[in-house]
Structures are given as structure tokens and as C-alpha cells.
Amino acid sequence: MIDERLRRIFEDLTSIDATSGNEAPVAAYIKEFVERLGLEFDMDGAASLSKGNSGNVIIRIKGGGDHFLASHMDTPRSTKGLVRIFHEDRITSDGTTPLGVDDRGGLSSILYALEKAVAEDTIKPCTLLFTVCEETTLAGSTFFTPDPGIRYGFIFDSYMSPPAIVSETCGLLEFDFTFHGRSSHAGIAPEKGISAIQVACEAVTKFPYGKLGEKDTGNIGRISGGTATNVVCDSVKISGEIRSGNLEDGEKRFRKIVEDFEEVCKKHGATMEYRSAWDFTPYHIHPEDEPYRLFEKVVGAMGLKPVPMKSMGGSDANAMNKKGIKTINLGVGAQNPHGNDEFILYEDFTRAAAIAYGLMTTTLD
Ligand SMILES: [Zn+2]
């Protein structure tokens, strides 16, 4: 079973359709919610980066404390027309839309815990952060500037069941290459042309696809070029990614790809240009780090132990760790994220809310 109040908050939040960039109605709900509790609502200027209709929502409790709890306000897909079904052990949609549990599950857990901690007068200084555009660009967490007192934090946004936590992730290096050949009539003067398609195809056979060692992966996900069948193609663009457990390995793999591709270009008399950027960078939180210790204390009081896991995906935690704020992504139990078969077990949901409560009402020492 699920607590009536938690269920109600989840129903309220999943009644709001708010995809990335359209978070304003979720922010309005939170504003009303926290002001009713006598707390101050604040919004930053993240909309300037996300180009959406809302900034990040920031609630500083008793000065803001040394840590934050966060979840994101956007859903990756529309939940318009959502029909929630409360089964014996879980909540699902009717299968025609996502449930929106990523990340309304995390959001509900935090708001439910907040209301309870304020009512019971057990709340300790901390900051609540509700971000925009997590699903698309991490624009909210990237833009967010933590107050100087904030040292660590918790993101409520993993599909795993609590008390599992993402203590370690890969980083994601995105790239594209454009191969330049020379166009010519394919029938009259093919020898004058240099086919960018031929060059690109040979280049991609040198690419390291799939699982690379223990921590890394590689993929080319898009290829485009050419104009007509009677023209030797002069330009092809490919885009892909490398995921890597550490920055150096990722950079090294990318340099090797550039070298291999350059060699192919040279062989055919073609040229190329390329661009690469880290979409998110890796992090690793250790048991002696503050967020791990506070989490351990909170779940310890519930008779549980943290279950640290590695992840090959990114979240707001990556952007926060990049700023030097040690941050863990916590399991909420929002399973099958982004599909129409999203669901959450009452057991996980209840536990996630209890963990949120613990993280607001417990101090490290
Ligand atoms: Zn999410």
C-alpha cells in the first residue's frame, strides 16, 4: 500500500504535462506547495540557457545548510491524457502514455518528506533544488550556481530500487566528423571525383564499436550525405559517442579515432574536419565522502545498507560533480524510464520518500 498523502502529491504532479523546456506549471505547483508551508520560493535564470519557460526552483531551508536534495521538473515525453492505474503493488499508466514517474517519483518523494518534516518540526538546514531540462541538455544543473555553503548533494533520479545509489558513472564524449571529397559526374568523369561516401565507409570500419574494455563503449549513431546517384558525393557527416570511465581514457580513444580517420582521408586524397565535446563527465563517490556517509547513516537507521552501483548514463549528478559538489544519484525505483510501461512499486516509492525525509532531518555528526 501507499501513503494517501504521497499518492495525492504524485497524482497532482503527474496531472501536469511538462516536457523539457515547459516546466513552468510544475514550478508553479512547487511555489504554492512551499509557500503554504511558510518557506521561501526562489527561481534562478536557467531559462536563459535552457531557452525554456522556467528557471530552476531553489528552496533554502534554515539558511540552506551544507547539502541539497534535487529532482528534475521535466519529463522526456508528454504525459498528456495520462490514466494512472493503482495496482496491488505498483502504479502504472494504461499503456498509452508514459507514467511520468521519471522524475515525478523523485519530486513527489521530496515534497512529501518536506511537508512531513515541517509539520513535525524535525527539518534541518538544507537546500531543495528542482531543475529544468535534465532530459535534454542538463541545462538546469549546468546553469545552477550553488550557494558557497553547499558541499554535497543528492539527486532523486535513478530507476534503481532504493537503497541502490549511482556512486560512479561514465562520461559521454560526443563527436562528429565531416569528410570532404570532390564532386564529379559519376558517368562522364568519375576519375575526377573523390567519393566522401567511400572515404567515410572505410573510416567507420576502423571505429571501435560496442563494449570497449570494462568501462567504455563506442557508437556511431548517425550518417548523412550525398545529393544524387549520378554525382560523386563530396561531403558526408557522421556523428557518434564514446562513453568512458575516465576523461583520459576517453580522450585517448578519441585521438586514436582521429588518427585512423586521417589516415583513410590521406589515402584517398580527401580531407576532414571534426568536433568533440564532453556532454557529461564521469564521477566517483567513495564511502568516505560526505554524501555517502550521510546516506549510509540515513538508510542505516532504516536497517539498510547503501548498494553502490556503476551507471553508463548521465544525470544532474554529473553536472553537480563537475562543479566540485560531491553528488550521488539515488535510486527512486522509477522503472522502465521513458517507456509507456514505466512503473513504480509502492515499496520503492515509500522507501524513497523515507530516505528524502532522513536526508532533511539528519546531520552527519
Ligand atoms: Zn530522470
Residue in the block written with cell 548517425: 222
In angstroms, the CA 203 to CA 181 distance is: 13
Q: Stretch 215-229: mean pLDDT, rounded?
A: 96
Q: How confident is the model at residue 223 (pLDDT cuts 50, 70, 90)?
A: very high
Half-sphere exposure in the Cβ direction for 193 (13 Å, CA): 20
280 or 91, which is more confident?
91
Dihedral of the CA atoms 9, 12, 352, 171 (nearest 10)? -150
Q: Stretch 272-286: mean pLDDT, rounded?
A: 95
For residue 261, the SS3 value is helix
Rounded distance from Cα 8 to ligand 1 centre (Å): 21
Q: What percent of the chain is modeled with pLDDT above 90?
A: 97
Rounded distance from Cα 327 to ligand 1 centre (Å): 15
Rounded distance from Cα 74 to ligand 1 centre (Å): 8
Answer yes or no: is pLDDT of 313 > 90. Answer: no
Report the pLDDT value the prediction gives residue 365, as an integer from 0 to 100.
82
Q: CATH classification of 4-169+282-361 is 3.40.50.10260, yes or no?
A: no
Architecture of domain 172-280 in this structure: 2-Layer Sandwich (3.30)
Q: Stretch 156-167: mean pLDDT, rounded?
A: 96
Q: What are phi and psi of 98, to 5 degrees?
A: -70, 160
| The amino acid at 351 | R
Domain edges within the chain: 4-169+282-361, 172-280
Rounded distance from Cα 201 to ligand 1 centre (Å): 36
Tell me the pLDDT tens digit for each residue of 102-111: 999 999 999 9
In angstroms, the CA 173 to CA 241 distance is: 6
Rounded distance from Cα 209 to ligand 1 centre (Å): 27
Rounded distance from Cα 86 to ligand 1 centre (Å): 21
Rounded distance from Cα 101 to ligand 1 centre (Å): 8
Rounded distance from Cα 72 to ligand 1 centre (Å): 7
Q: Stretch 69-83: mean pLDDT, rounded?
A: 97
Tell me the pLDDT tens digit for each residue of 54-66: 999 999 999 999 9
Residues in the chain: 365
